[in-house]
Chain A
Amino acid sequence: MNIQLDKHGRLKHFLSIEGLRRELLVDILDSAERFAPVGERAVKNVPLLRGKTVVNLFFEPSTRTRSTFELAAKRLSADIMNLNIEASATSKGESLSDTLRTLEAMNCDMFVVRHQNSGAAEFIANQVASHISVINAGDGRHAHPTQAMLDMLTIRRAKQNFEGLVVAIVGDVKHSRVARSEIQALNTLGVAEVRVVGPKTLIPSQVEALGTKVFHQIERGIAGADVVIMLRLQNERMQSALLPSAHEYFQAYGLTERRLKLAASDAIVMHPGPINRGVEIDSAIADGPQSVILQQVSNGIAVRMAVMAMAIGTQAIAGAN
């Protein structure tokens, strides 16, 4: 049994792509398409979640993800409260369970959770009262399912469907929750091939078991690819023994115009942001015609609106029955 779903298979929590059917992922994408025009109107919100309370529960600092969830909630007319837990309760020795109890007592409807530990979102979903939905906004190295789905929306808008696509994910796959969720989403949606590309120090053990082909040379890894997803390289990786330097990383794995020519001629280039120009990707590519990086950002709001509305909707049905 998947704790993300209610007994009718409807989305109750959104914690991970793993275990979700293709139809459900397509539902999320279709719903997102319906929410997308809301942001283009004079009044950019709809009263769907009026009276509902969403808590952004961030145990790890994040500005971008937190603000897109905040905007998505506001466009659905939900009330939103931002809680930066790292700086408050847990540093005073309050346990995670205590924090959750306290928030439950405030009658919230949804927790959007980011946590530095893998599995934290599942843990929270198992702990909270049954009327609360939990959305995973990134847990450790494990999953970042809304990011993966906004990337899927971006790919579908550019390529119409997933069949036959070759997708290359380049960079620090080992520490990337985005990559794990993308790999699962791409395979569920039925692309032809998912490749992971990077030095052995940044590719996790037995990643083939997730349904990927491993490449250690970018030239071979992106050859013929329809979609090239560049991952962000965290600065702290430079301080460990994983890589010699940012300069060398760009030399070996940076996406340049010359390398992009090896991909399909209509290949799109994606990046979850924020971009390290000149480390993962050449500025000319990031700002070039094949880049869909800014579309990813606006798609992010629509996907998050869709997921929030679906999950709170499922809980509303459960509450009404």
Chain B
Amino acid sequence: MDIDVNELLDEMSRNLAQNLSDAQCENPLFVGVRTGGVWIAQRLHEQLGGDGPSGELNIAFYRDDFSRIGLHPTVEPSNLPFDVNDRNLILVDDILYTGRTIRAAMNEIFDYGRPASIRLVVLVERGGRELPIQADVVGMRLSLKASEHVKLHGPDPLRLELYKAKP
């Protein structure tokens, strides 16, 4: 499958800018979900001309499948190098699927403080939601079977891979 991620990012940043200006939301903070979401967040942050740091979330400690997979091996811990209280956050992830990752990410954000608002931005939205979560800005929508998966490789170049799960 050949998808130009850069093209998607351009469109996402336009939509996001529109979304923010419609809501009169200024100085938002970017928070990416490790690992793919962090790459997307950085690119959007640059394209919108933002300065200052972006946050990075590693939701390993918030996963709801710990009882099945144990302590997940992760490289870097979460890092939110700013006070989230009363700020507008833009939460960025690569793929929105069941919604469980976003649930975990929001839980973790609230353990750092009480933001004024959270917007969700995803590169790919696919069906299969298990929680009432939807994105505010979406790069592309895919209709995939449960056996089909999409994965973002990066950071440079960013590349989407579509594959079938091994039976």
Main secondary structure, interface of A, reads helix
Interface pair B71/A46, CB less than 8 Å apart: no
Which residues of A lie under 8 Å from residue B78 when comparing CB positions? 37
Q: Give B66-88 as 1s and 0s: 1 = Cβ < 8 Å from A's Cβ atoms.
A: 11111100101111000000000
Q: What's the Cα separation between A316 and B62 when bound, in Å?
A: 15
- A interface residues with partner B (beta carbon < 8 Å): 10, 31, 33-38, 41-43, 45-49, 309-310, 313-314, 316-317, 319-320
Interface pair B74/A314, CB less than 8 Å apart: no
- B interface residues with partner A (beta carbon < 8 Å): 58, 60-62, 66-71, 74, 76-79, 107-108, 110-113
Q: What's the Cα separation between A309 and B69 when bound, in Å?
A: 12
Which residues of B lie under 8 Å from residue A45 when comparing CB positions? 111
Q: Name the 3 nearest CB pairs between A and B, nearest first.
A: A313-B70, A46-B61, A43-B111
Which residues of A lie under 8 Å from residue B112 when comparing CB positions? 41-43
Interface pair B68/A42, CB less than 8 Å apart: no
Q: What's the Cα separation between A43 and B113 when bound, in Å?
A: 8
Which residues of A lie under 8 Å from residue B71 when comparing CB positions? 31, 48, 309-310, 313
The verdict on A317 contacting B79 (CB below 8 Å), with A41-B111, A43-B111, A48-B61 known, is no
Which residues of B lie under 8 Å from residue A37 when comparing CB positions? 77-79
Query: Which single residue of chain A is at the shortest CB-CB distance from B59?
Result: A46
Query: B67: which of A33, A43, A316 is its contact (CB, 8 Å)?
Result: A316
Which residues of A lie under 8 Å from residue B107 when comparing CB positions? 47
The verdict on A320 contacting B61 (CB below 8 Å), with A34-B77, A37-B78, A42-B111 known, is no
Query: Which single residue of chain B is at the shortest CB-CB distance from A306?
Result: B71
Q: What's the Cα separation between A141 and B112 when bound, in Å?
A: 42
Please list 25 pairs of residues, one from A and one from B, whose beta carbons are closer than 8 Å in the complex, sorted by A's number: A31-B71, A34-B58, A34-B74, A34-B76, A34-B77, A35-B77, A36-B77, A37-B79, A38-B61, A42-B111, A42-B112, A46-B108, A46-B111, A47-B61, A47-B107, A48-B61, A48-B71, A309-B71, A310-B70, A313-B66, A313-B71, A316-B68, A316-B70, A317-B69, A317-B70
The verdict on A316 contacting B74 (CB below 8 Å), with A41-B112, A42-B113 known, is no
